Amino acid sequence: MAQLSIKKGLSISLLSVLGFSLLAVLLELGLRASGFEHPSAEDPIAIWNRVEDRDLRLGQGLHRFAPGELWEPRPGAVLPMGWTGEVERINRDGYRGPLRSVSRKPGVLRIAVLGDSSTFGYGLPFAENFCAGLEAQLEAAGTQSEVLDFGVIGFTLLQGIERYARKVREYRPDVVIAAFGSVNDHHVAQALPDAQKIAAWTAAESQLRRFGRRARESARVVHLCAWIVDGLRDAERSKDDEVPLHELQAEESRAHLGKLEYESLHKGVRRVSVAEFEAGLGRLKQAVELDGSRLLLMSMPRRPGVDHSSPILRKYSQAISAFAAQNQVACFDGHADFRAYGLVEHGDGHLFFLPNDDFHPSRRGHARLASGLSRRVLELVESR
């Protein structure tokens, strides 16, 4: 009798499991047929920030999630029409500009450029950013070259190091230009500084984790659960105007962000501290030279008044210049070049993108950067 009851119980359980499985399969097929998609969150920690994180996992914006780098340009993503006046897409290998073969062309100088939104060419067509301009300037000087733009909006130097290791080195560039303006580096860390985020995601990239992520990305039933959870969270935020504690703290500390004593007196945490930035330059140099390439550093420009309101930015620029001098690394000081240029000294904004934009060069500014860089690249190549 007891055995009969157990068998009956097992049969009922098995039927329940089969029924649930069939229901899940039918729901999955129905969701796929309707075209429903809503990828689940990667992790409760902020990858970039609350707004950008949502776009990252929905997979519809300019960027996508990338282990190590945290995010990267999404292949096929369309750039804002206001920048270009026509449809321009991120190429299928995930960087801006013409698609280049990984294999090298004999006799062609290959240059890879790492950097942030200024390197990416924020606000401008690709043909007008300094990467395209550098290639044109070298061509005019009789040096055939390929300049690959691996700049990413919002990137810090530490993310650039990851991008070099994971994507750039396979292209075997002759020269690697690192053009980080340190604007992102000195910003308030969202939840964790970049070094800790990168370490956490790198450690989590096990085979099991990758399998779980792929399953989570493809299963529409999981997408449905994420959609429900996001809806509940959004409703709760609207009702209570709830903001995570780390975001409230970051907002309160922004007024002190550019000050030298921000970390010590205000207990703030930057995405990448000056000390981490200096150490990162050393790591990048070692990686580039071990691959047989040569490193060229560029100190990015900003309006002169910014150094007065945010003196910490001078520390990052000084770190670049000092590192280059102490380690015999080629350097183009774009910040000093813009400062010395009369238009900037007199407050004319022609070298910057907008009157209220202190960091992004205009097409005229990009042309000036390309001119200065081309001279340094030719000197570097001729010195070999």
**Cα–chain center distance at 273:** 17
pLDDT class for 163, splitting at 50, 70, 90? very high
pLDDT class for 268, splitting at 50, 70, 90? confident
Q: Are 151 and 112 in contact (CB under 8 A)?
A: no
Q: Is the pLDDT of residue 162 over 70?
A: yes
What percentage of the chain's residues is helix, strand, coil (to nearest 5)? Answer: 55, 10, 35
Catalogue the E-assigned strands of 244-341.
294-299, 330-333
* Average pLDDT along the chain: 83
**Cα separation of 285 and 374, whole Å?**
20
pLDDT given at position 56: 76
pLDDT given at position 246: 47
What's the rounded mean pLDDT across residues 83-93? 92
Residue of 317 and 230 predicted with greater confidence: 317
Residue of 239 and 336 predicted with greater confidence: 336
pLDDT class for 239, splitting at 50, 70, 90? very low
Residue of 71 and 36 predicted with greater confidence: 71
For 100-185+272-382, CATH gives: 3.40.50.1110
**Cα–chain center distance at 69:** 7
Highest-confidence segment of 62-66, 150-154, 353-357: 150-154
What's the rounded mean pLDDT across residues 226-233? 57
Give the helix/strand (H/E) hosting 377: helix 363-382
pLDDT per position as a tens digit, 33-69: 776 666 554 444 567 776 677 777 777 789 998 988 9
User: Two tokens at 259?
Assistant: 């000050």
- Looking up tokens 């309101």 gives 309
Backbone angles phi, psi at 67, to 5 degrees: -55, 140
User: Two tokens at 74?
Assistant: 């999404």
Q: Is the pLDDT of residue 75 over 80?
A: yes
Comparing 34-48, 61-75, 218-232, 242-256, the range with the smallest average pLDDT is 242-256
DSSP for 84-101 reads HSS--B--TTSSBSS---
pLDDT given at position 89: 96
pLDDT given at position 383: 79
Residue of 124 and 347 predicted with greater confidence: 124
pLDDT class for 183, splitting at 50, 70, 90? very high
Q: Is the pLDDT of residue 256 over 90?
A: no
Where in the chain do CATH 3.40.50.1110 domains reside?
Answer: 100-185+272-382
pLDDT given at position 373: 97
**Cα separation of 299 and 183, whole Å?**
12
Alpha helices in 270-311 (DSSP H): 274-290, 304-309
pLDDT per position as a tens digit, 96-106: 999 999 999 99
User: Which pTM does this prediction carry?
Assistant: 0.79
Judged by DSSP in three states, 35 sits in coil
Angle at 145 between CA 141 and CA 149, to 5 degrees: 120
